[in-house]
Amino acid sequence: APLRVPARAYPPTHAPEPSRLLEPMSRRDFCSPQGLLHRQAVEELFDDYAEQFEEHLVGGLQYRGPEIVAQLISEVLAPQGQDDLGFVVELGCGTGLCAIPVRPFASRLVGIDVSEGMLDIARAKGADGVPGSDGNLYDELLHMDAAVGLAKQESGSVDHIVAGDMFIYVWSVEHVFQACAKALKPGGTLTFTTEAMEEGESEEGWIERESERFAHSQAYILEAC
Please report, to the nearest 10 degrees, the dihedral formed by the alpha carbons of residues 122, 128, 134, 139 taken in order. Answer: -50
- Evaluate whether 218 touches 4 at the Cβ level (below 8 Å): yes
Q: Residue 18 above 60 pLDDT? A: no
Quick check: 123 pLDDT over 90? yes
Walk across the sheet containing 86-91 and list its strands: 3-5, 184-195, 158-163, 86-91, 106-113, 140-143
Q: Which residue has the higher pLDDT, 211 or 23?
A: 211
C-alpha 150/C-alpha 161 separation (Å) is 10
**Mean pLDDT within 23-32:** 42
Residue-wise pLDDT tens digits, 138-186: 999 999 989 999 999 999 999 999 998 888 887 678 889 999 999 999 9
User: Which H/E stretch holds residue 143?
Assistant: strand 140-143
Beta bridge partners of 192: 163
Which is higher by pLDDT, 30 or 115? 115
Average pLDDT of the residues in 57-81: 69
* Torsion, Cα of 47, 25, 112, 225 (10° steps): 150
Confidence of residue 26 (pLDDT cuts 50, 70, 90): very low
Helical H segments across 6-145, by residue range: 18-21, 33-54, 65-77, 99-102, 116-123
Looking at residue 78, what is its pLDDT? 62
What pLDDT digit, counting tens, does each position of 181-205 carry? Answer: 999 999 899 988 888 888 778 888 8
Q: Nearest to residue 160, comparing CAs of 110, 95, 93, 119? A: 110
Identify the CA nearest to 165 among candidates 75, 87, 68, 85.
68
pLDDT over 90, % of the chain:
33
What CA–CA distance (Å, rounded) separates 43 from 181?
Answer: 25
